[in-house]
Structures are given as structure tokens and as C-alpha cells.
Amino acid sequence: MLSRNYWLASLAVLITACPDTSSRALSNEVQRHVVVISIDGFAAYLVDDPKVPLPTIRRLAQEGCLVEGGMTVSDPSVTWPNHTTLVTGMKPGRHGVLANGVLVRGGIGVPVKIDSHRDQSDLVKVPTVVDVAHAAGLRTAEVNWPCTRNSKSFDDQFPDVPNALDYTTPRL
């Protein structure tokens, strides 16, 4: 299980692969789904703490899989860079997401601002696992995942951005 002393700014709690046994299965092959649940700012050791009420997360982890041994936080240790590291496997210096938006310099003596009103193509400089899955013909979806606004790789999405409903796919 997860190390009790391992703190994370962003923890991917579990990845599950579950067969679809519904009547909607398109063939005799078992369809598999991958669901990534990330709890932003969650200390990894709390998954093992019996005093923390996480029955559904623990059940999903038992039925699927849990990241063993914790994860290493990215630098900078904020939401968007860490979540982008999870889906690219690369550090922020490589994938390009250095803040919860794009850093905008205002000139000498003017504080830097963070512009979070940006599309995935403005933020992420390398392919994500979702980009690869979608290109391979797999269906993809996300709910409240950062750096995904106007992504071409999601069939359904509700992105983690200001005015999220403006960028949510109609079917969702």
C-alpha cells in the first residue's frame, strides 16, 4: 500500500480497468475502461488511515489498482503542472505547463499574472495518454481535468477552467 509518510500535492488515487458486462457491449470481446481518479492536494498516507472515510475510493482501488508507493510531486507543486505530468509522463519543463495557466509578464516592476483562459494546445507541448488513446480510436472523456479546454482528444469533456460550461461538450 501507499507509504504513510509520503505527501503529495496531487495524487492519482487509482486506475481501474473494468470489463463492460452490459448488453451494450459491441462484440464478444470484453470491453475495458480505464478510470483515473485524482484528488488534488491529498496526502497519500490518508488512503491507509482507517479514520479517514473513503469507502468508495478504497473499494474502487481494491477492484482495480492503486498507485503503489506514492508518487513524486512535480516542481512546481501546483495542480495543473502535476496533473499534466500524470497524463504525459514528463516533467513540467518538458510538457510546458508551469502554472495553473500561462504566465504573462507585464514588464519591469509589474507582477506576473496567470492567464487560465487558455486551450490545451496553448498549454501542453507534448501528447498526453488521452491524445494517444483517441488517435487509436478509443473513446475518451474527462470531468474537471486541468489543461484540457478545447482538447480535440475528448469525446466528452467538462474541463477544469473558468466558465467550464462554455467548453463542456453538448452531449455531456
pLDDT (0 to 100) of residue 124: 97
pLDDT number for residue 20? 41
- Residues comprising the chain, all counted: 172
Contact 136, 129 (CB under 8 A): no
Checking if the pLDDT of 112 tops 80, the result is yes
Q: pLDDT tens-digit profile of 10-31?
A: 333 333 333 444 444 445 566 7
- For residue 97, is pLDDT > 60? yes
DSSP assigned state of 109: T
Q: What pTM was computed for the model?
A: 0.77
Strand, coil or helix: what is 147? coil
Which residues does residue 101 pair with via DSSP β-bridges, in sequence order? 99
Distance (Å, whole) CA 138 – CA 63 = 22
The two most distant CA atoms of the chain are separated, in Å, by 65
Mapping DSSP onto H, E and C, the string for 60-82 reads HHHHCEECCCCCCCCCCCCHHHH
The percent of residues in the chain predicted with pLDDT above 70, rounded, is 80
pLDDT at 38: 84
Residue 91's pLDDT band, with cuts at 50, 70 and 90, is very high
8 A C-beta contact, residue 96 and residue 120: no
Mean pLDDT of the chain: 81
State pLDDT tens for residues 50-78.
Answer: 999 999 988 888 888 777 766 778 888 89
Confidence of residue 44 (pLDDT cuts 50, 70, 90): confident
